[in-house]
Structure 1
Amino acid sequence: MKPLPRTMGALWLAALSLSVQAADLSFTQALQQAATQAAVLRQRQAEVAGATSAMVAADALPDPKVFAGIDNLPVQGADRFTLNRDFMTMQKIGVMQEIPNGERRQARAESAKARAAQAEAALRLAEVTVNTETATAWLNRYYLQQQRARLEELAQENRLWQGVVQSQLTSGKTSAADALLPQQEALTLATRRDALERDIRRADAMLARWTGDTGGPVTPTGEPPVFNVDADHLRAHVHHHPALAGYEPLTGLAQAELHEAQAALRPDWAVEVGWQHRGPDFGDMVSFQVSADLPLFSRTRQTPLIEARRQALAGVEAEREDMRRDHAATLESELAEHEALSRELDRLQQQALPLADQRVELQRAAYEGGRADLGMVLAARRDRRELQLQILELTRQQQTLAARLHYLYDFDEDAAP
C-alpha cells in the first residue's frame, strides 16, 4: 500500500506553519480595527463634513454684482465718441444685489439640512455595514480554523486506519480491495483540505478588506461571541434597519424641493445703485432701481414643476414602504433559516453526537473483548469526527447569520456580545 503522498503532506504542514506565524486578532480587536481602517467610513465622514459645511451658505444672499458702463455715448456729429461734451453722456459704476424671496431661501436651507442628514444616515449605514461584514468575516475565519483542526484529526484517524489495514492484509484477514479504502479516503481528505485552505484564504482576504492590510493572514483568538436571536424582538424592530433610516432625510429633501418650487410663485427681488459721472460742465448723478420677477405664466411654468416635485415626494414615500416590506420579508426568510439551522444543530448535538460517542465506546469494548477488530473502532471514531465537522459548519452558518441579524436589525453598542 502506498503511503500518503509527501508533497501533499508538505503542503498541509506548510499551511499549518503559516497559521502559527499569523498575527492574533480577537473579535473585539477586529471591530475596533475596522472602525479606524475601513476606507468607506472615511469617505462617508468626508461627505458629512462637506454637507455640514454647505449648510452655512445655503440660505445666504447671492454675491452682489458690480457693473460699469457708458450711457448715451454720441456716435454722430462733432461730439461723436466723446465722453465729456454732451450732458447726457455718463460713465457709470454701481452694484446690484439679487434678493430671492424668503420662502425660497428657507427652502434652500431645508434642502441643505436634509442633505447633511442624508450624509449622516449614509455614515450610520456604513458603520453598521462595516460592523456586520467584519463580524461575519471574523466568525467565518474562526470556524474555518476550527474545521482545519478537526480535519487534521480526521486525517490522523485515516493514517491509523491505514496501519491497521496493512497489518490485516499481511495476516490475510482482509482483501487487497479493502486495503485500497484508506488510500481512497486519503485522496478525499486531500481534496477537502484544498477546498478548506481555499476558503481560509478567501476569509483572510475578506477580513483584510475591512480591517486593513496587516501584512499577512491572521489567527482569530479568544472565544467567539454568541449571538442570540429573538424573533419577536427583531420583527418589532425591522423599521430600525439602517437602510430605512436613510429615507427620513430623503423625504425631507423631497419636501424642501417641493417648497422651493412653490416659492417660485412669489417674486424674487433685485436692488441696483449706480453712480453716473458726466463731463466737467455737468454734475454727477446717482441712480436707484428695484426690479422684481413677474410669475404671470405659472400655469405653464411654476405649476408643472410643483406637481413634479409633489410626485417625487410621493415616490420617495412609496419607495420607503416598498423597502420596509422587502426587509420584513428578508427578515422572515432569514429567521426561518436560522430556526432550521438551530433545530438541526440541536439534533446533532443532543442526539447524534451522544449516539456517536456511545458507538465509539461500544466498538472499543467489543475490540477489547475480542468481538471486533481495530478497524471498526477507527471507523466509529472517523464517523464521530465527521459529525463534529458538520456541527462546526452548521454553527458557522448559524452564528454568521445571527450576527447579521443583530447588527442590521437590532444593533446596540451596549447590548453587543
Structure 2
Amino acid sequence: MKKFLVLALLCLQGVAVQARDNPAALTLASAVAAATAGDPWLAGSEFREQALADEAVAAASLPDPRLSLAAGNFPTDTWDINQEAMTQLSVGVSQMFPRGDSLALQRQQKEQLSTQEPLLRRDRSARIAAQVARLWLSVYRAQEAIHLIEQDRVLFEYLVDAARASYTSAMGHTRQQDLVRARLELTRLEDRLAALRLEQEAGQRQLAQWIGPAALQPLAQGMPPLETALSREALRVATASEQQAYTLLQQHPALAAMDRRIEATTTGVDLARQSYKPEWGINATYGYRDDDTFGEDRADLFSVGVTVDLPLFTGNRQDRQVGAAVARAEALKTERQLLVRRLVADLRAGVARLQRLDERSELYAGQLLPQMAQQAEAALSAYNNDDGDFAEAVRARIAELDAKIESLSLAVERGRAIADINYLLAGNASAADQEGEAQ
C-alpha cells in the first residue's frame, strides 16, 4: 500500500510541473513598455520643454513701446485751447532698452533650462524601467513560490493519505505522531500560501500604479533574460576605484541634466552682473497747438529725449543680487557632488552584490538543489522500504522546497540587482544606442 502511494505521489509531482502556457501573460518587457508609454510625467516634461523654448524667444524681445496722450497747460478760467500759447495736445512714444546683454543672457538661460528636459526624460525612463522591473520580479517571486508550494502540497496531501493508510493498517509502522506531523506540515504550507498570495496581491497593486489593470494578469513563466548593459568583466574593471566608477557614470542623464542646470545658474550670475549697467530709454513727443485768439497760426512743438538710470548705490541691491546668484550656483555644484557620490556608491555596491548573488546562484544550481533532491529521494525511499523515519522524509521534502524557494529568491534578487545597475548605466546604454543609430 505504501509503495503504491509513494509511486502515485511521484507521478502527481510530474503532472504538477507541466508547462503553464498563457498567451495573455504579462512579460517584463511589456510591463516596462506600458509604464513608459503611460507615464504622465514624460508628457509633462515635453510641455515644460516647449514652454521654456517659447519663453526663450520671448525673453530676447525688447519691451513693448509706450504710447502717451496728454492735454497740457489748459487755462482753468475758460478751458479754451487757443487762449494761451502754451496750451497743447501732445502724443508721445517711448522705448526702453534693457541693461547690457540682459536680453541675450535671458534667452540663453531659458534655452539651457530647456535642454535638460530630454535628459530628465531619459533618466525618468530608466528609473521607470528599474522600478517596474523590481515590482514585476516581486510579483513573479510570489507567483512562482505559490506554484512550488502548490506542487508540493499535492505531495503532502498524499503523504497524509499514506500515513493514515499505514497507521490504520495492521501491517503498517506509521505512528500517530507521524500522521499529526504530516497534517501539521500541510497546514504550514497553507499558511505560507496565504502569505504569498498577500505578497502577490500587494505587488500587483503597486505595479498597477504604473501599468493599470494589466498588472492583475498572470505573469509570464520563467525568468526574463536580464543582463547588465556592460559585461561583468568590464563592470568589475570599471568599478575597481571610485574615480573609474565616476568615469563610467559621467554620461548618466541625471548628471547631464544637473550640468545643464549649473550652466543656467552660471548664466544667471552673468545676468545679475548686468544690473551694474544702466538701462536706457528714448522718447519722442509731438505737441499740437491751436491758433491764437486773433486767428494767427501757432507752430506745433516736437520733443525728443533720452532717459538713463544711474546704478550708483549698489551695496544693498546689485551687490546682493550678484552674491545671491553666485551662492545659488555654488549650492547647485555641491548638489552635483552629492549626486555623484551616491551614484558611484550605488554602482560599486550593486556590482559587488551582483557578484555575490551570481556565486550563490551557481552554488544552488550546481550543488545545493541536486543534493537536496537526492536527500529527499533517499529519505522517501528509506521510508518506503520501512528503513527510515517518516518525520525525516517530511523534513527532507520541506528542506528541498525551502531550497527551491530560496533559489527562486536569489534569481529575483539577481534580477533586481541587474535592473538597478542598468539604471546607473543608462548614460552608457543611451550613448551606445545613439552611436549604433548613427552608424
Q: TM-score range by the shorter chain?
A: 0.7 to 0.9
Alignment partners' CA distance in 2, 1:122 and 1:84:
69
Aligned to 2:278: 267
Aligned to 1:162: 160
**Structure 2 contact 204–215 (Cα < 8 Å) conserved:** no
Aligned to 1:395: 411
Aligned to 1:5: none
Aligned pair 1:359/2:375, yes or no? Answer: yes
Aligned to 1:150: 148
Alignment partners' CA distance in 2, 1:268 and 1:47:
31
Alignment partners' CA distance in 2, 1:377 and 1:298:
89
**Structure 1 contact 91–278 (Cα < 8 Å) conserved:** yes
Compute the TM-score of the two structures, normalised by the length of structure 1.
0.85
Deviation, 1:152, is 0.9
Aligned to 1:43: 44
Q: What SS does the corresponding residue of 1:48 show, helix, strand or coil?
A: helix
Alignment partners' CA distance in 2, 1:358 and 1:374:
16
Task: Render the CA deviation track for 1:331-375: whole Å, top value 9, x for unaligned.
Answer: 333333333333332322222112112223433554565533677
State which drifts further: 217-226 or 365-374: 365-374
Q: How does 1:95-110 map to 2 (within 5 A)?
A: 95-110=93-108
Aligned to 1:90: 88
**Structure 1 contact 153–385 (Cα < 8 Å) conserved:** no
**Structure 1 contact 128–242 (Cα < 8 Å) conserved:** no
**Structure 1 contact 71–90 (Cα < 8 Å) conserved:** yes
Compute the TM-score of the two structures, normalised by the length of structure 2.
0.81
Aligned to 2:57: 56
Deviation, 1:142, is 2.8
Alignment partners' CA distance in 1, 2:200 and 2:56:
47
Structure 2 runs not aligned, ≥5 long: 1-19, 240-244, 293-297, 434-439
Task: Render the CA deviation track for 1:195-237: whole Å, top value 9, x for unaligned.
Answer: 2112212222233222234484343357502224534346242
Deviation, 1:194, is 1.6
- Residue 269 of structure 2 aligns with an amino acid whose one-letter code is L
Structure 1 runs not aligned, ≥5 long: 1-18
Deviation, 1:392, is 0.3
Deviation, 1:390, is 0.9
Structure 1 vs Structure 2: percent identity of aligned residues?
23
**Structure 1 contact 141–220 (Cα < 8 Å) conserved:** no
**Structure 1 contact 90–276 (Cα < 8 Å) conserved:** yes
Q: How does 1:104-143 map to 2 (within 5 A)?
A: 104-143=102-141
Q: How does 1:18-417 map to 2 (within 5 A)?
A: 23-75=24-76, 78-79=77-78, 81-171=79-169, 173-214=173-214, 216-220=216-220, 223-228=223-228, 229=232, 230-233=235-238, 235=245, 236-281=247-292, 282-363=298-379, 365-366=381-382, 371-372=387-388, 376-377=392-393, 379-410=395-426, 412=429
- Residue 200 of structure 1 aligns with an amino acid whose one-letter code is Q
Q: Tell me: CA distance 1:22–1:278, structure 2 relative to 1, closer, same or farther (3 Å).
A: farther
Deviation, 1:139, is 2.7
Task: Render the CA deviation track for 1:300-336: whole Å, top value 9, x for unaligned.
Answer: 3212221221122122112211221122223333333
- Residue 58 of structure 2 aligns with an amino acid whose one-letter code is A
**Structure 2 contact 287–302 (Cα < 8 Å) conserved:** yes
**Structure 1 contact 204–218 (Cα < 8 Å) conserved:** no
- Residue 275 of structure 1 aligns with an amino acid whose one-letter code is Y
**Structure 2 contact 145–408 (Cα < 8 Å) conserved:** yes
What is the Cα-based RMSD across aligned positions, in Å? 2.7
Alignment partners' CA distance in 1, 2:151 and 2:266:
64
Question: How many residues are aligned here?
Answer: 394
Deviation, 1:377, is 4.7
